[in-house]
Structure 1
């Protein structure tokens, strides 16, 4: 039987040198002169610690660009990368434990990076802090601690973090600019903020010890922020529930005192507020409830229920105020219409309603959620609605113009119908897969440019709504000679990183070997 030609396994040059070994072994007898013997497929699958491959510095004809190349034996036609880890080898994790089983001189020889002596390139080496993880540094530079990104260790991202911060404008600089120029730089600062989010995610990626699985990790700061956001949403919904119940009871009482059409419209609005709170509360509880059955029925989560609940409520709101509009028009055409009486008790209740709704609007303004935004819009409508609901009948009573009240009721009904029609259409567009704005595409494109230099091009970047969240589809072009493990690692790492961005519900990263105008999907 003829000997099998070893396969070529390539890694990007990235931030590590071409002489870097792909993995590090616990074994003390590892030498370049005595490579490990080939194992059978059966024994290889049982062994938890395979010997690392020997580095082979081939010419550029063996690979694309300036990648590192390693010869890997393929026992029994079963090829495998030179390490168990998707991004960092299992043996590297063991070497970085620093348990004293390996001498300092051997660790130094195993973990030394950089080119040969006499070159201009600085050395890069790994040290062994007490936390058990290696830290990369250049010369006498600052040591990278345990938070070192697994993507950087594996050479899958570059060192351009914060590259564009030099273009940020401070508040003092913005204050000196004209209005139009200031608006431009404010948008630029917002773009830089989205780039910082990308940098933070890429610099904090983790890998599970001993398994090699890349964790779509969330930093402690981001996890705390998400928990605070969920608590804020629950607080806003509960506050709206209590406020709407109290105001609905108060308005029913004042309508019995004064049969003003504008006040009837305001009472209907409060009833719809209470209904909206119930819909939002029920939807929120339904989304938060998770068990094996719901995970099976809804494999991508239940976040799309949120805009669906807003959609249902919008229909209720529009239908209710169409009835108020019809009643207002009928009163305007009534020649025997009597002017309503507005006592001071009614006036006081309506003023208190405006003040309370203003407080609710301010409390909901800073919370980013489709449900809370619907409650915020509802509170904003209530402020305007309640103000004119008392203004029209009260002024009509003062000037003794009886038709001013139904005119006000009709105008307020038209206002609510137009507002909620816009909300309805906005949620319909999101549920039907509308394309995301250019700012979102810029954020994804920046993230992809931070990855390995082996990425030749990025084509067919599609970002579209699937409810409130966004779905991302992107094709990355790699050289045709890229090995399957490297292509898999790049694609999977990019996919996990994209899904950690705020607002991204799901990401799909495809790998191509040629640049072509085809979208990769059938045109429907």
Structure 2
């Protein structure tokens, strides 16, 4: 297999991310909004917010990364802009958590509150779509049969008409027939829309896996895992919607069937809530200057020791802390007795070490190298005078 060039790999990874955003994010939100408009299903409403969260988090990442790459105002941010992305995600996390809590409360009221007046779940949302469809398509034989059956019933049982005139009776029959037709047509359209969402995600999963393998892109591999999880989630939504529609069409089930939609919506909202709370906790962790993981500190120590080899200086302690998406590094050094350097030379050496750590693949946004000397009491004193020359 021919190995791609660096430019081709970067272009392939960028294409995978762009397709994931526009095709797997924005288009799915639009499709699910249409599905919610058709059905009014609380489950699909929760699924819309789940997809919207993916789109918004991707948009926040794109905008903040653009701000981070902007070098025109770096003098205003001496320690870098790595806090922008966590702050943006934390802001949207608060919105997503509050929205999911509202959705959970709403579904709890529907599950345990007073029984609402039962109406066909698809009839009100599909009235507009049904009227448009009737303008361009002839009436089906099933609709004609329903109309004839209702007309014959009222003709044979005049008392059912009560005080309704002929015009009012015709309007009532017409309205009932249209609602029944819409209620039957909507579940099929809904299943088709949800199936299209799964097909889109499946295509993106295959493409991102291909991009991850060909371009050796870790971000494409991460995005492919997100597509895989979305396929499972959307498949579960499709299964519940299709199962509920089948039970209604065959007359199976009972009052419990009306609880399936709010119950499944509540469970999905709880799942999304937990995910966003975990994300918010992660962003708070990186924004609080928490001590970095041992793996990162060990990598810094290894790089610094290799850099200090045969230099006359030794690393006594290394501390790393989170600074947004990057890290702050503090290095404590001691000089060997054989070192004969002036203060200026020491200052230049420390500055070079700091720049080397920043340039290494350690995500270090700020580095502070401090030179210490051991006195007779074996305590460590900082050679602060060196900073005068830096």
TM-score (norm 1): 0.49
2:353 equivalent in structure 1: 494
2:278 equivalent in structure 1: 422
Instruction: Tell me, yes or no, if the aligned pair for 1:461 and 1:474 is still in contact at 8 Å.
Output: yes
Q: Does 360-369 or 278-287 show the bigger shift? A: 360-369
2:296 equivalent in structure 1: 440
Instruction: Tell me, yes or no, if the aligned pair for 1:471 and 1:506 is still in contact at 8 Å.
Output: yes
Instruction: Tell me, yes or no, if the aligned pair for 2:104 and 2:266 is still in contact at 8 Å.
Output: yes
1:345 aligns with 2:189: yes
Instruction: Tell me, yes or no, if the aligned pair for 1:273 and 1:378 is still in contact at 8 Å.
Output: no
Larger helix proportion of the pair: 2
1:185 equivalent in structure 2: none
Q: CA deviation at 1:411?
A: 0.3
- Describe the superposition over 1:35-64 as per-residue Cα deviations: whole angstroms up to 9, x where unpaired: xxxxxxxxxxxxxxxxxxxxxxxxxxxxxx
Using the alignment, how far apart are the partners of 2:87 and 2:222 within structure 1? 12
Distance 1:283 1:359, change over 3 A: farther
Distance 1:420 1:470, change over 3 A: same
What does residue range 21-420 of structure 1 map to in structure 2 within 5 Å? 232=13, 236-237=17-18, 239-291=20-72, 294-333=73-112, 334-336=114-116, 340=121, 343-360=187-204, 363=208, 367=217, 379=227, 382-397=230-245, 398=247, 400=253, 401-420=257-276
RMSD between aligned alpha carbons? Answer: 3.5
1:85 equivalent in structure 2: none
What's the secondary structure of 2:278's corresponding residue?
A: helix
What's the secondary structure of 1:462's corresponding residue?
A: strand
Which of 367, 370, 386 is the equivalent residue of 1:507?
367
Distance 1:238 1:285, change over 3 A: farther
1:470 aligns with 2:327: yes
Q: CA deviation at 1:517?
A: 6.1
Q: CA deviation at 1:457?
A: 3.7
Q: CA deviation at 1:520?
A: 9.7
Which of 467, 483, 488 is the equivalent residue of 2:341?
483
Using the alignment, how far apart are the partners of 1:519 and 1:327 within structure 2? 61
Of structures 1 and 2, the one scoring higher in RCO (CA 8 A, sep 6+) is: 2
TM-score (norm 2): 0.64
Q: CA deviation at 1:355?
A: 3.2
Instruction: Tell me, yes or no, if the aligned pair for 1:460 and 1:475 is still in contact at 8 Å.
Output: yes
Distance 1:242 1:274, change over 3 A: same
Using the alignment, how far apart are the partners of 2:229 and 2:82 within structure 1? 26
What's the secondary structure of 2:258's corresponding residue?
A: coil
Residue ranges of structure 1 left out of the alignment (5+ in a row):
1-223
- Describe the superposition over 1:383-410 as per-residue Cα deviations: whole angstroms up to 9, x where unpaired: 3432232222332343532211111000
What's the secondary structure of 2:80's corresponding residue?
A: coil
What's the secondary structure of 1:325's corresponding residue?
A: helix
- Describe the superposition over 1:351-385 as per-residue Cα deviations: whole angstroms up to 9, x where unpaired: 2212323454663977557xx89977865654343
2:181 equivalent in structure 1: none
Size of the aligned set, in residue pairs, is 294
